[in-house]
Amino acid sequence: MSLSAPRDARPLNHPEFGGYHAAWRAWARDDTVRHSGSSGGVLTAISGWLLTSSNVSSVAASTADPVAPTRTRSVDATTVEEILLAAGSRYAPVENVTTWAARSDAALVGKPCEISAARKLSQLPGADDAPPLLSFFCAGTPSQLATDQLVIKLGAAPAEVTSLRYRGNGWPGDFTVSSEDGDTQAMSYKESWGGNLGRSLQWRCKTCVDGTGGDADISVGDYWKVDQNGYPDFSEGAGESVMIARTAKGLRLVLEAEAAGVIEMHPIHLDAVAGIQPLQVQRRRLLSGRLAGRLMSGKPGPRYRGYGLAGHAFRHPIQNLRASVGTWLRSRSGGT
């Protein structure tokens, strides 16, 4: 498979985060929305505002399955109440593009790969008459089995779960499971993602070139605080996002949302984000090495054009060599 970087005109480009018009540190002004969302409630706030301002008639997004809460399903939200129910990340397989169905009056909130597909379906990169495409920073999609195993690890039976949140209700928020017997168990984000879910990613996610929503109109990620060593600090706090306007349409929408009192935003430079999103930086810098390692092991891989991968390989040769060898060894042993 071959994939090219988006080519619509953008005034700025960042080597790791791609094309954009402007970036901010941001959060929802409504405290309930800010608390409920994964990282400041920005996508929740903008989605609700798109509905109430008549920009769209619905928003395709992900939410917990009301019958089987350990699973995730796509929803076509038509009210702010439905948007709020969908607040908070869902680290599990789900597909929203079919629900969205390229309707001009419907917004889409999805993973970067879904937004890339949706952009090609709409064939109107950032145009005002194209539907709003909203994305978030993605580290990969864990398997459904990983969620079920984590539920069991907390002492609950997946079939008896009445509520499951991966995060949110705080920042970053806990992985929280409630059962029919009224018992509620929780695990920190650092342990649930770093120690469990993040170790069960689809192999395709490990060779993805874009984890930051480069094809979206607006993309959002965690604006982590960092500790004294420069690593993200997952201590609980009031949620904050990095928000990137990727297209002229996205820029217009976030400025209108700010003027309407929906979001608070403060300009930042994306170089500052690179230090608090190390996984996304390493993804782009070392992808050439990982792809080379797959080819060396005789396994196919995607082909990317326009993302500057050759330049990253040239600037970071030792790290890419290590990535090649590591990927080759894992591939030979049956891994990915």
Percent of the residues in the chain that have a pLDDT greater than 90, as a whole number: 83
Q: Is the pLDDT of residue 16 over 70?
A: yes
**Residues with Cβ within 8 Å of residue 41, at least 6 apart in sequence:** 27, 28, 30, 33, 34, 35, 87, 239
Supply the pLDDT for residue 124. 56
Structure confidence at residue 161 (pLDDT): 97
- pLDDT-derived band at 69 (thresholds 50, 70, 90) equals very high
Instruction: Give the model's confidence band at 5: pLDDT under 50 very low, under 70 low, under 90 confident, else very high.
Output: low
CA dist 283 → 48, 62, 100, 274, 294 (Å): 32, 25, 28, 12, 15
**In angstroms, rounded to a whole number, what is the distance separating the alpha carbons of residues 181 and 40?**
32
**Do β-strands 161-165 and 133-136 pair in parallel, antiparallel, or remain unpaired?**
unpaired
Q: pTM of the entire structure? A: 0.93
pLDDT of residue 231: 78
pLDDT value at 299 more than 90? no
Q: Give the pairing type, strands 58-64 and 72-77.
A: antiparallel
Q: Are 316 and 286 in contact (CB under 8 A)?
A: yes
Per-residue pLDDT reduced to its tens digit, 101-141: 999 899 999 999 999 999 988 865 555 678 999 999 999 99
One-letter amino acid at 300 equals P
Say whether pLDDT at 335 is over 80: no
| pLDDT higher than 80, residue 207 | yes
Residue-wise pLDDT for 34-63, tens only, equals 999 999 999 999 999 999 998 899 999 999
Q: From 235, 232, 251, select the one nearest 243 (Cα to Cα).
A: 251
The answer, yes or no, to whether residue 15 has pLDDT greater than 90, is: yes
What is residue 164's predicted lDDT score, i.e. its pLDDT?
A: 97
Query: Mean pLDDT throughout 2-28?
Result: 83
What H or E segment, with its residue span, contains residue 279?
Answer: helix 278-296
pLDDT digits (tens, 9 = 90+) for 231-256: 788 889 999 999 999 999 999 999 99
Structure-token match 């330049």, residue found: 311
| Rounded average pLDDT over 135-148 | 96
62 and 75 Cβ atoms separated by less than 8 Å = yes
Poorest-confidence range of 207-211, 227-231, 319-323?
A: 227-231
Does the pLDDT of residue 158 top 90, yes or no? yes
In sequence order, which ranges of 53-182 are alpha helices (DSSP H)? Answer: 80-85, 97-100, 112-122, 144-153
Q: What is the mean pLDDT of the chain?
A: 92
Kindly tell me if the per-residue pLDDT of 95 is higher than 90: yes
Contacts of range 144-148, beta carbons closer than 8 Å, 24 or more positions apart: 144/71, 144/92, 144/93, 145/200, 146/92, 146/196, 146/197, 146/199, 146/200, 147/70, 147/71, 147/91, 147/92, 147/197, 148/70
- pLDDT of residue 202 exceeding 70: yes
pLDDT band, residue 228 (cuts 50/70/90): confident
Pick the closest to residue 169 from 50, 11, 38, 302 (CA basis): 38
